[in-house]
Amino acid sequence: MNEPLISVVVPVHNAAPFIEETVASVLAQTEGDFELLLVEDASSDGSLEIMKRLEKTDERIRVIINHGTHGAAYARNLGSASSKGRYLCFLDADDIWLPEKLEEELDFLRKKDAAFVFTAYEFADKNGKGTGRYVRVPEMLDYEHALSRTVIFTSTVMFDMEKLSKDHVKMPYIKSEDTACWWKILGSGVTAFGLDKSLVLYRRAGESLSSNKIEAVKRIWYLYRVQEGLPFFKSVACFISWAVRASLRRL
């Protein structure tokens, strides 16, 4: 098998109800030159057995076993380190790609001659059905503008690994590791380009909205003050802008 054009990394922890549908959405892509790396992270619900069965059905699927429970960041980093494609994508184990996601995003990246692109997405219910609520994305995003909005969703990104290093895409072992990673990349001088077309369904579980908000507030404040080391008043300004945009996105 020749080296794949695209590597797709999926961290899997107790995703048995969803992983087959997620994998099917990758296998249905109109751009078929990819490897699909399923990184098992100590599941206890039979996810590994499902993944091993799926691995036997398509040579593009490769299961990587992450010994111990280390979390999504560690699993993504393990998958990224093992990836062979020029282009790298992340996909969460319960999300769904539209069939043209890889083809259209790759075409967009090439036209922009970009290192980092992302797309719009649609919220889905627990059954993976679109709700009609979309998150639109800006045409481009640099570090300073990214601080005030968390609009880049993990399952929408694509990187050109001839323009970035594996260290660029290595996620820190903290909460909101994906946002911290995007800021690290953008902070190095890279500009991300947004394709304002929804190509991903973001499945949301029925968790408490109030508890989610409290947790989000804690995480974003930690990123500003500790991870990025921003001054207090700049952190406050970024936080207010982030909070307004996050609230509008829920309307």
pLDDT at 250: 59
**Cβ atoms of residues 125 and 204 within 8 Å:** yes
pLDDT of residue 210: 44
Strand-pairing partners, residue 242, are: none
pLDDT value, residue 67: 80
The pLDDT, as a whole number, for residue 30 is 98
pLDDT tens digit at each of 251 positions of the chain: 589 999 999 999 999 999 999 999 999 999 999 999 999 998 999 999 999 999 999 999 999 998 877 889 999 999 999 999 999 999 999 999 999 999 999 999 999 999 999 999 999 999 999 999 999 999 999 999 999 999 999 999 999 999 999 999 999 999 999 999 999 999 999 999 999 999 999 998 655 444 478 888 999 999 999 999 999 999 999 999 999 988 776 55
Would you state the pLDDT for residue 209? 44
**H or E stretch covering 88:** strand 87-90
Per-residue pLDDT at 251: 54
What are the residues whose beta carbons fall under 8 Å from the beta carbon of 38, sequence distance 6 or more? 10, 12, 19, 23, 51, 54, 55, 61, 62, 63, 64
Q: For the whole prediction, is pTM greater than 0.85?
A: yes
The helix (run of H) or strand (run of E) holding residue 181 is helix 177-187
Spatial distance between the Cα atoms of 75 and 95, rounded to a whole number of angstroms: 16
